[in-house]
Structure 1
Amino acid sequence: MKTLKNLLFPIVALLVMLTVACSKDDDKPASSSHKVVFKAIGNTNAKIQSIVYGYDDKITSHSDVNTATWTSPEVTTPAGTLMVNMNVTALAPDASGNLKVQIFVDGELKKENVATGSALVGAVSYTF
């Protein structure tokens, strides 16, 4: 279980880097700043292990979170921001584990993804 946990965090970090690197060159940046909140919600038997979130190349990560739900502080993205993204890993004792990851922009849910299983990886991104 510890080995699985140690493998999931680098995978999530790689997913974030690939998401940022694969953004199109012709993306138009946001014309104004936005207030962004990231959320991760696991069912009662899923425990969040690590979280990586941010905008463009401004990334924040947390490891050993060990909770079922998590909400980021409100992040203000500056004008010119191209995208926001979040990757979360969680573990559940069996295949009934469920993990929902969400991005809220200016108070409105913009993107959501749900992962199921025992080794959960939830990834979501939103392009302005």
Structure 2
Amino acid sequence: MKKFKKLLALSFCLVALTALISSCSKDDDNNNGGPYEVEYKVTASSNATISTVVYGNAQGDPTSLTSLSGNTWSTKLTVNAGVQSISLGANATATDASGSIKVQIFVNGVMVKENTGSGQYLTATAVYIPGS
């Protein structure tokens, strides 16, 4: 359980750090286009349960969902113009070391980032920088 808590803390830190870095952009006039239609998807193996999801909201700020259950999660939203990064992180726990998790970010209907994790204590994060 200690390992899971460390992974959870690391995931939160990665997403928060990404949001902090993007909010400190030197060029505040660069709006990177937008707005963007964003879809976030998390899929875990059948032997795993998603517990936490952290994603960037319409303003690019991290939003945390905890105490989740099930092995899939998704949401769609419109992200404002000027958001510097679009990020998603998730944690799950599997019944054994054969578990897997996948996070995906879709922008305007196109998958732009995907990442996976495997093991019993699962974490995956993805960050998309518009215009890159």
**Aligned residue identity for 1:122:** A
CA offset digits 1:22-68 (Å, max 9, x no partner): 44836753222011010000010011010000156422111011210
Percent identity between the two aligned chains: 33
Asked whether 1:64 is paired with 2:67, we answer: yes
- Cα deviation for residue 106 of structure 1 reads 0.7
RMSD of aligned alpha carbons: 2.1
Could you tell me the TM-score, scaled by structure 2's length? 0.83
Counterparts in 2 of 1:8 and 1:63: CA distance versus 1, 3 Å: farther
Gapped regions of structure 2 (runs ≥ 5): none
CA distance in 1, matches of 2:117, 2:123: 6
> 1:10 maps to what in 2?
9
- Larger mean Cα displacement after TM superposition, 103-112 or 57-66: 57-66
> 1:92 maps to what in 2?
94
CA offset digits 1:87-107 (Å, max 9, x no partner): 100111211101000001011
> 1:25 maps to what in 2?
25
SS of 2:81's equivalent?
coil
**Aligned residue identity for 1:25:** S
CA distance in 1, matches of 2:67, 2:7: 12
CA distance in 2, matches of 1:7, 1:62: 17
Structure 1 stretches of at least 4 aligned residues deviating more than 4 Å after TM superposition? 3-8
**Aligned residue identity for 1:35:** E
CA contact (8 A) 1:5 1:49 kept: no
Could you tell me the TM-score, scaled by structure 1's length? 0.86
Equivalent pairs counted in the alignment come to 126
CA contact (8 A) 2:113 2:126 kept: yes
- Structure having the larger proportion of residues in strand: 1
SS of 1:67's equivalent?
coil
